[in-house]
Amino acid sequence: MADSKNFIEQIIDEELKEGGRVYGKKIHTRFPPEPNGYLHIGHAKALEIDFGTAEEYNGLCNLRMDDTNPTKEDEEFVEAIKEDIHWLGHDWDDRFFYASEYFEKMYEFAIELINKGLAYVCELTPDQMRDMRGDTKTPAVSPYRDRPIEESLDLFKRMRAGEFEDGKMTLRAKIDLASGNFNMRDPVIYRINHLPHHRTGTEWCIYPMYDFAHPIEDALEGITHSLCSLEFESHRPLYDWVVNNISVETKPRQIEFARLGITHTVLSKRKLRAMIEAGIVTGWDDPRMPTLCGLRRRGYTPASIHNFSARNGVAKVNSVVDFAFLEYCLREDLNDHAQRAMAVLKPVKLIIDNYPEGSSEEFDVENNPKDENAGTRKVTFSRELWIESEDFMEEPAPKYFRLFPGNEVRLKSAYVVKCVSCDHDADGNVTAVHCTYDPESRGGNTADGRKIKSTIHWVDANNCVDGEIRLYDRLFTTEQPDLADCNYLDFINPDSLEVIKGAKLEKFLENTQPEDRFQFLRTGYFCADSKDSSPEHLVFNRAVSLKDSYKPE
């Protein structure tokens, strides 16, 4: 009851019972990305299901590049994909494969099918084939269907030998031209493509189609459960047809699950690429991107993504999960583990009128109240500090209980101060806030026990470092920019990035390393940018803000 099984696990449980299909066997899955783009948060769900299910049953999961189409794939994505998966904490030991490793075997299986009278070489052009596909009431047609086996054999060998140009002919499975399932209307299983492949070079000029290749890849690797997304559901009969008609020892089972959608973003590679090309984002790893490398650069942790994926559940209805849930999972993880620091994003000077000029002192500040072992650090304090401009209002709004003339607040871990006045420039902007401090409140507690409603963060103006802060917002202004009847580019959020140059940071942050994560008190969780941050020029990305229940007016 604690954690109920999803429908895939229920199926596996059944099959594992005595007499079941995989009784006594080790559960074996695979994650088969096509190396033509970067992994995104949607893949994290597939990773969770493929690797996670294997782990749960103490089984194995292979990583396999599904590289059967040389026009789309490239080696450049392979390493990035491996890195992202490792980053998430999954591993495949020595079971890393390319579908292209099986090209020779696939070819032999194709010959087997021809010999069994279950495949034939068809000379229809792509246009002709489409025209002869038929419709819901009319069966498809191929004039080459009853070609003698010997002839198909000869032609198929010559296809491989490179005698024919692209598109000239195909190898088709002989199944059912009248099937209501169009995937079964004698699907093409080999096409000619005179293009070098990123792995096999010019060795081949014919390439197997997914529907033929995938079940073979699974069968050859001893995969017991081939878990894939819903759009392959109507391909399952073909998957089964292939494994049942070729000579393989194990017959894997395909089970489909719903893809993950997420609000306020798009996940199609095409659309993500278009946003890069349009300059809306800076690249695949732009911190606003839903790619794994983008989320990583933004400050997301593997644990947060893992929890998100695991808690979304597995079903057969396509779902769109609220982005807020992903954010929740990040806060949850970082709240427990992130080092705290004080950083003033939009500074205004606070001058303590009754604090001795030129003097200074140190306070101990907790590194993480959620972690007893995190210890404390020293923070210096002097007459002039930086505070958040939002933490002062000359004329306070209702229910505002931070700094305003006459009000007391606590400076985190330091003193209680009382606001007395503020300075303005010629335009009326506040240039400095004046206050007095209560010397008896050293450390933050009042001597007379009076309650201080608000505690604000601060930075010593005489001992701090400057930094650049990048604040991010949703990429799209609407929950589902992906909906069919609209153009997603119309909903780009023009304010998805705000750059703050002159933030004032606690001194120790100057030693920050790329990808270090912090909670900046009261403003959110931040991550040192992996590309742009250096000790000379600190750059922090806000991964997610803290929740804020203060609502003006």
Contact segment (CB under 7 A) with RNA among 53-61, 78-86, 180-188, 502-510 equals 180-188
Query: Residues 246-265 vs RNA: string with x where CB under 7 A?
Result: ------------x-------
**Catalytic-labelled residue, pool 25, 82, 269, 507:** 269
User: Shortest distance, CB of residue 164 to RNA, whole angstroms?
Assistant: 10
Q: In the complex with RNA, which residue's Cβ is closer, 66 or 286?
A: 66
Residue 6 makes contact with RNA by CB under 7 A:
yes
- Tokens standing for residue 45: 């769900």
- Which 8-state DSSP code applies to residue 189? E
Number of H helices, E strands in the chain: 12, 27
The residue from 201, 279, 356, 369 that contacts RNA (CB under 7 A) is 369
**304: closest CA among 79, 531, 51, 517?**
517
Residues 453-482 that bind RNA (CB under 7 A): 454-457
Buried b (16+ CB within 10 A) or exposed e, 507-540: bebeebeeebbbbbbbbbbbbbbbeebeeeebbb
C-alpha span between 308 and 287 (Å, rounded): 18
User: Shortest distance, CB of residue 315 to RNA, whole angstroms?
Assistant: 4
How many residues comprise the chain? Answer: 553
Residues 510-539 that bind RNA (CB under 7 A): 519, 521-522
User: Shortest distance, CB of residue 304 to RNA, whole angstroms?
Assistant: 12
Contact segment (CB under 7 A) with RNA among 82-90, 166-174, 374-382, 504-512 equals 166-174
Contact segment (CB under 7 A) with RNA among 246-254, 461-469, 509-517, 544-552 equals 544-552
Strand partners, 255: 227
Q: In the complex with RNA, which residue's Cβ is closer, 349 or 522?
A: 522
Contact segment (CB under 7 A) with RNA among 286-294, 327-335, 423-431, 488-496 equals 327-335
Contact segment (CB under 7 A) with RNA among 161-169, 197-205, 292-300, 530-538 equals 161-169
The residue from 451, 499, 501, 536 that contacts RNA (CB under 7 A) is 451
Please provide the DSSP assignment of 300-313 as one string: --HHHHHHHHHHT-
Phi, psi of 28 (to 5 degrees): -135, 120
β-pairing, 225-229 vs 253-257, is parallel
- Which 8-state DSSP code applies to residue 528? E
Burial class of 138 by CB neighbour count within 10 A (0 to 12, 13 to 18, 19+): exposed
Active site includes 551? no
For residue 293, give the 3-state DSSP assignment.
Answer: helix
Query: Residues 402-431 vs RNA: string with x where CB under 7 A?
Result: x-------x-xx------------------
The residue from 174, 235, 434, 542 that contacts RNA (CB under 7 A) is 235
Active site includes 34? yes
Dump strand ranges (E) for 162-303: 170-173, 188-192, 206-208, 225-229, 253-257, 260-262
Residue 177 makes contact with RNA by CB under 7 A:
no
Residues 119-158 that bind RNA (CB under 7 A): 124-126, 129-130, 133, 135-137
C-alpha span between 446 and 442 (Å, rounded): 8
**Catalytic-labelled residue, pool 15, 25, 34, 108:** 34
Active site includes 440? no
**171: closest CA among 131, 209, 219?**
209
User: Shortest distance, CB of residue 537 to RNA, whole angstroms?
Assistant: 26
Judge whether 88 and 44 are in contact, CB under 8 Å.
Answer: yes
Query: Residues 203-232 vs RNA: string with x where CB under 7 A?
Result: ----x-xxx-xx---------------xxx
Residue 72 makes contact with RNA by CB under 7 A:
yes
Q: In the complex with RNA, which residue's Cβ is closer, 184 or 281?
A: 184
Query: Residues 258-297 vs RNA: string with x where CB under 7 A?
Result: x---------------------------------------
Judge whether 297 and 265 are in contact, CB under 8 Å.
Answer: no
Question: Which residues are CB-contacts of 88 (< 8 A; sequence separation ≥ 6)?
Answer: 44, 47, 292, 302, 305, 306
Q: In the complex with RNA, which residue's Cβ is closer, 139 or 514?
A: 139
Q: Which residues are catalytic?
A: 34, 259, 269
